Amino acid sequence: MFVAEGISESQPIRSMPGVVQHTRDSLRSAAADAVAAGVGGLMLFGVPRDQDKDAVGSAGTDPDGILNVALRDLAKDLGDATVLMADTCLDEFTDHGHCGVLDERGRVDNDATVDRYVELAVAQARAGAHVVGPSGMMDGQVGAIRDGLDAAGYTDVVILAYAAKFASAFYGPFREAVSCSLSGDRRTYQQEPGNAREALREIQLDLDEGADIVMVKPAMGYLDIVSAAAANSPVPVAAYQVSGSTR
């Protein structure tokens, strides 16, 4: 579910018919309806105002940022009636649209980005997230987040690792949904589409770092990877059906 700052009513997402950017109030209503209908988990994505975006995604860790405020709203309204999940990434919050902090040459700085992910995860846990979902495909992100959550006292917060996230054109509608400011592409840190061996290695690395759930994204085009992961993983395997694969 997408929740946007600076709008007075929910806004349809053109490339995702039937899906909207919610206001805080409409999100609360829609979430309550979903839980009443039996939905067992909700994943939240924040959409800040353009003027609140910066080079390091400060709006993502701001306690008063839209995603953290929305998590607090739903935690108060729903308690443990459903599982609250948060997207733990910077792309919605950066003015360049990449999933991390850029170095002086405009490349994503892995270690600086992981530090920000830890801060994001702790902020989201503090706001009420039961599950954090690091989706940026940085090396070492799962282990660092686990250490950071544990140190902050959030030992029960679950890490849903985007373990095999392939570079894909299927993500186009989602980027519109979160008003992403991306320039360039993310192929330097997302998975090469044809490299199954690397994908399985990345899944194992996330397991070794303490992932509670591992995900394959986009799932529809990589059912072989989903199957291989499920055959070998001691934790649940999530399959992300992305918006663009149904168009």
- Radius of gyration from C-alpha coordinates of the chain: 17
Q: What is the distance between the alpha carbons of residues 243 and 169, in angstroms, rounded to a whole number?
A: 10
Cβ atoms of residues 46 and 69 within 8 Å: no
Look at residue 238 in the predicted model and tell me its pLDDT: 98
Q: Is 217 one of the annotated active-site residues of the chain?
A: yes
Confidence band for 156, pLDDT divided at 50, 70 and 90: very high
Structural domains of the chain, with CATH: 2-246 (3.20.20.70)
132, 165, 191, 229: which one is catalytic?
165
Q: Over the stretch 93-108, which tens digit does the pLDDT of each residue have?
A: 999 988 999 999 989 9
Look at residue 181 in the predicted model and tell me its pLDDT: 54
- pTM recorded for the entire structure: 0.92
Say if residue 189's pLDDT is above 80: no
Closest by CA position to 216, among listed 161, 146, 170:
161
Average pLDDT, the chain: 92
| Beta strands 11-12; 20-22: pairing state | antiparallel
Say if residue 185's pLDDT is above 60: no
Cβ atoms of residues 21 and 10 within 8 Å: yes
